[in-house]
Every structure is written in C-alpha cells, then in structure tokens.
C-alpha cells in the first residue's frame, strides 16, 4: 500500500511526504475524496474529473466525466465538484471552475503557489482550511491507511457554495475572500 501511495516522496509512517503539485506523493490520480466531505457539502450536479463509471465506488455528483471523456473538453453545467487530477494540469481545472463560477474545489493547501494565487486567492469566494489531514480513498472504496501528508482546503465559487461551506459542519477555518478587506501589500 505504501508503494501505491508513495509516489516518490514518502517521508514517514504517519503521512505521505509533501511532493507533487496537488499533494504529497500522491502520484496516482485515482485518490477519491472521503465520502463524508462530499456528503457534508450537499448535492453536486457534475464531477468533471471522476473515475470511469465502472471504477467508481460511489457518486460524487449527479453526472460525471472521466478521463475517457476528458472533462476539460466537455461542457460544464450546474454546481461542480472538482477534486482535480494531480500535477501541473491542476491549474487548468481550477481556472475552468473559477470561470464557471459555481462549485467547489478540493486541493492541497499550497497557498504560496502561482496556481493558488491565480485561481483561488484572486477568484474564489471563500476557502475552508480543513483541520487535520484527510485520508483519501482508493478507487475501490477503501480508506487509505495513511493520511495525505499535507493539509487540504476547500475553495468555494459562488455565494451558494460559500453558504454550503458554512453549513457543512466540517471542522476548519473558513475565510471569505471576496468580502474580506484584503490589503495588497507591495512586497518589493
Ligand atoms: C484526485 S481524483 C478525484 C476523483 C473524484 N473527483 C473525487 O473527488 O473523488 C482525480 C480524477 O480525475 C480523473 N481524470 C484525470 N484526467 C481526467 C480528464 N482529462 N478528464 C476527466 N477526468 C480525469 C482521474 O482518473 C481521477 O479519477
């Protein structure tokens, strides 16, 4: 199991070492969102980056696209759930969600990255930094024995999704982005 999870950067017994863009050493793309997270957030209309139908142990949304469809090349409608594929391509999914304006993303809290600045800090309506580290699930449905090795954040686009974060009961720190009095510091 460690081998499956590790990708390349396993650093310890209790979690996966930080690496990759999206997360730790989660080099395979098929890590599923823990079902309690989706349940807490209400019904989504579309998961544009889901495992193929025959591989999915549960539904994340009413409709799904898989890699066979190429979810980025498809039309998106309604409320979107987006736990995107890992790697440099993650930014394309976040941009698409920000442009769409209705939905939520689950990614690792790499708050310093260009991707985070361009598609979350600048465009999301709120973020919920989850307390603790998630245990993602294997595509077969079983929960990973080790945690993801990094903190996760939910980013909400659209007011209804901010409210869903507020009502979710998920433990963490919620920050409204667009309404907060953010001061842009000149770092030069
Ligand atoms: C991190 S997993 C998340 C799965 C699911 N969205 C969830 O929340 O549990 C990313 C998923 O994206 C799928 N994927 C990768 N490239 C894709 C593409 N071009 N179009 C649609 N899905 C894709 C992978 O097969 C994988 O199932």
Instruction: Quote the pLDDT of residue 87.
Output: 83
Residue 15 Cβ < 6 Å to ligand 1: no
Give SS3 for 6.
helix
Cα-to-centroid distance, 137 and ligand 1 (Å): 13
The pLDDT assigned to 26 comes to 54
How would you class 58 by CB atoms within 10 Å of its CB: exposed for 0-12, middle for 13-18, buried for 19 or more? exposed
pLDDT string in tens for the chain (188-residue length): 222 232 222 223 344 433 333 444 455 678 999 999 999 999 999 999 999 988 899 999 999 999 999 999 999 999 999 999 988 899 999 999 999 999 999 999 999 999 999 999 999 999 999 999 999 999 999 999 999 999 999 999 999 999 999 999 999 999 999 765 555 555 55
* Tokens (6 digits) for 146: 């080790």
Rounded to 5 degrees, what angle do the CA atoms 137, 175, 45 make? 50
Cα(105)–Cα(123) distance, rounded to whole angstroms? 12
Output the pLDDT for position 178: 74
Quick one: DSSP state of residue 117? I
pLDDT at 181: 54
Of the candidates 86, 44, 48, 95, the residue with the CA atom closest to the CA atom of residue 67: 48
**What is this structure's pTM?**
0.86
The Cβ of residue 33 has, within 10 Å, a number of other Cβ atoms equal to: 21
Q: Is any ligand 1 atom within 6 A of the Cβ of residue 124?
A: no
pLDDT at 41: 98
Structural tokens at position 106: 């689950």
In testing the pocket of ligand 1, which one of 67, 107, 139 has its CB within 8 Å of the most ligand atoms? Answer: 67
- The encoded tokens of residue 72 equal 């980025």
| Ligand 1 pocket mutation pick from 33, 41, 50, 148 by most atoms within 8 angstroms of CB | 50
């Amino acid at each position: 199991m460690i081998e499956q999870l590790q990708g390349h950067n396993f650093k310890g017994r209790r979690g996966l070492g930080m690496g990759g863009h999206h997360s730790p050493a989660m080099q395979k793309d098929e890590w599923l969102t823990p079902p309690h997270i989706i349940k807490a957030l209400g019904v989504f209309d579309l998961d544009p980056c889901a495992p193929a139908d025959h591989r999915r142990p549960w539904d994340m949304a009413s409709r799904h696209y898989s890699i066979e469809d190429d979810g980025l090349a498809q039309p998106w409608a309604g409320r979107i759930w987006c736990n995107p594929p890992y790697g440099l391509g993650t930014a394309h999914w976040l941009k698409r969600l920000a442009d769409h304006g209705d939905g939520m993303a689950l990614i690792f809290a790499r708050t310093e990255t260009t991707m985070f600045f361009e598609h979350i800090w600048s465009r999301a309506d709120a973020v919920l930094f989850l307390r603790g580290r998630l245990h993602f699930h294997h595509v077969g449905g079983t929960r990973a024995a080790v945690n993801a090795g990094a903190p996760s954040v939910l980013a909400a686009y659209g007011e209804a999704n901010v409210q869903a974060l507020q009502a979710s009961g998920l433990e963490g720190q919620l920050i409204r982005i667009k309404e907060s009095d953010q001061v842009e510091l000149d770092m030069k």
